[in-house]
A and B are shown apart, each in its own frame.
Chain A
Amino acid sequence: MGAFLQYTVIGLTVGSFYALVALGYTIVYGIIRLINFAQGDLSMVGAFIGWTLLVSLGFQHLPLWLALIAAFVIPMIGTALVNLGILQFAYKPLLHKSLWAILITALGMSLFLENAALQVWGPSINAYPPSMLPSSGFSLGPVHVTFLQVALFLTSLLLMAGLYAFVHGTMIGTAMRALAVDHDAARLMGIDVDQVIRLAFVLGAMLAAASGVMIGIYYTQIQFTMGFLLGLRAFTAAVLGGIGNIPGAMVGGMLIGLLESYTAGYLSGKWETVIVFGVLIAVLVVKPTGIFGERVAERM
């Protein structure tokens, strides 16, 4: 029982990172039916921008609150700009062309980001400052929870709540949901569809970047290849929850995190990836609309 709860704590922490990345997949898919395969690599880019600030530029020596704000906000903005660039130069020219062209381009963008990061930051494993946050924690019965886990989990929840409030509580958020149904009808409301699509790319990238920085802080090391498996796990999470469905991505992320943690705990870490992709295939075969169902209506 103690072990189970311990794995649960770890699973929820890691799952919250997956959920953030999964939200990016889901938001973009919801409005333009594009699987932005670069989503995991955006997270990597965010992690590296954060690393550059904290380590290379020495932000880690600033007061903690200042270092943290800089290490989240700047990577979020930088990664958003990267994603806007991808939208503008890679996806935009293809938006009304074949679905295959854009899907392959998305895979290409993933490789592009990975190789660009290799050029900029090199192939080595880069260490995040280990002692930024206290490694201490507290015990809840048999379970040990670190303050870091709590802080990261709460940060994820806060970002997700913020996203939810934005999408459901503002007019632009409502416009994003309307785009999931009908682009032309949205235009007839006076909605600048291109602007809302750009906003979706910005939000998706910001959430990915935040998760990247948190992954860096949690595992204390990052590498240019980290986005690949992260992206596939998050994609699985999005599909599991029902792609296009925002609460689905949140729940899906947590479930994948838990599944992975239990697998690593009870079987072996070697099985993690096998199990995750087993889930992906099983969902696609048995219930392709995911747990919550694809909320988005058919656009055609």
Chain B
Amino acid sequence: MALLEVRDLHVFYGNIEALKGISLDAEEGEIVAILGGNGAGKTTTLRTISGLLRPRTGTVTFQGRNIVGVAAHAIVGLGLGHVPEGRRIFTILSVEENLNLGAYLIRSQGALLRARKAAVYQLFPRLAERKHQLAGTLSGGEQQMLAIGRALMSDPKVLMLDEPSLGLSPLLARSVLKTVREVANDGTTVLLVEQNARQALAIADRAYVIETGRIVLEGKASILATDERVQKAYLGGFEAMTSA
């Protein structure tokens, strides 16, 4: 049984069915990419897994337990971290306070909290230099580092990232994705939503392609990267992706 198993999720916004039966798996230590165009349902999938949205039907099984219906804050405690779309850092708090909140559930264990913070600062030395700065004054790339670091503070078994490279320069995007690879190498399972399909497939083990709420393709990342349909839709014409 996989670490995370999503089965037949149907999610509605009012009368609109955003997910029409999504199923996917993530095994321990692998990077699973979720690709798809604007409005395909990628963000909805992640928000449903982390408990921010409730599916009408379907299950999310994490470590053998169905977590549908469990409160979002409790799901974090089970070991699912989520870096939301658009970073959503706490702009009026300092960098350090943002990181501290990432470890909210272990707030009484000061030594453990400090150790994790040290590890995050080692991963992102830029954050260490700016720890007393208000998070809202960080650059876009630094904010993304903070969002990832903040999620790592809960030491998740599964880390879900929603478009971490969005809005970053190609160089910075590569560096963020490289960091994601490092995190996975340390044993964390990663669910990676990306518009940047080429780079996502380069670091992922497996991938799913979502279109209008359904999985239309799945397989090994290396194979999908050469798949004609994927190439045409997500890798070929850059215009196709930017003409939102």
Contacts and interface: CB of A to CB of B under 8 A. Distances in A.
A225 B150 CA distance: 48
A5 B168 CA distance: 58
Contact of B92 (A171, A187, A189, A296): A296
A186 B101 CA distance: 8
A189 B84 contact: no
Contacts of B90: 177-178, 181-182, 185-186
A188 B84 contact: yes
A235 B88 CA distance: 30
A71 B89 CA distance: 42
Contacts of A180: 92
A192 B101 CA distance: 12
B92 A177 contact: yes
A190 B107 CA distance: 11
B240 interface: no
Nearest to B80: A188
B92 A184 contact: no
Contact of A182 (B51, B82, B88): B88
B101 A189 contact: yes
Contacts of A189: 73, 76, 101-102, 104, 150, 154
Nearest to B82: A188
A180 B88 CA distance: 12
Contacts of B150: 189
A181 B71 contact: no
Contacts of B74: 190
A171 B100 CA distance: 8
B77 interface: yes
Interface size of A as a range: 20 to 34
Interface string B170-189: 00000000000000000000
A297 B88 CA distance: 12
Nearest to B107: A171
A98 to B, nearest CB: 16
Nearest to B72: A187
Interface string A159-197: 000000000000100110110111011111111110000
Contact of A181 (B73, B77, B81, B91): B91
A294 to B, nearest CB: 11
A295 interface: yes
B105 interface: yes
A202 to B, nearest CB: 19
Contact of B104 (A182, A184, A190, A296): A190
Contacts, number: 73
Contact of A188 (B76, B91, B92, B107): B76
A191 B73 contact: yes
Contacts of A191: 73, 101, 104
A177 B89 CA distance: 12
B217 interface: no
Interface in B99-139: 100-102, 104-105, 107, 136
A190 B136 CA distance: 21
Most chain A beta-carbon contacts within 10 A, residue among B97, B100, B101: B101
Contacts of A186: 90, 101
Contact of B93 (A178, A184, A190): A178
A295 B104 contact: no
A181 B97 CA distance: 13
Given A187-B72, A188-B82, A190-B77, A174 B97 contact: yes
B76 A190 contact: yes
A192 B92 CA distance: 20
A26 to B, nearest CB: 14
B203 interface: no
B55 to A, nearest CB: 17
Query: Which of A178, A182, A188: most chain B CB closer than 10 A?
Result: A188
Interface of B: 50-52, 71-74, 76-77, 81-82, 84, 88-93, 97, 100-102, 104-105, 107, 136, 150-151, 154
23 contacts: A171-B107, A174-B100, A174-B101, A175-B104, A178-B90, A178-B93, A178-B101, A180-B92, A181-B90, A182-B88, A187-B71, A187-B76, A188-B72, A188-B76, A188-B82, A188-B84, A189-B76, A189-B154, A191-B73, A192-B71, A295-B92, A297-B91, A297-B136
Given A182-B90, A188-B72, A193-B73, 12 more contacts: A171-B104, A174-B97, A175-B101, A178-B93, A187-B51, A187-B76, A188-B151, A189-B102, A189-B154, A190-B154, A191-B101, A191-B104
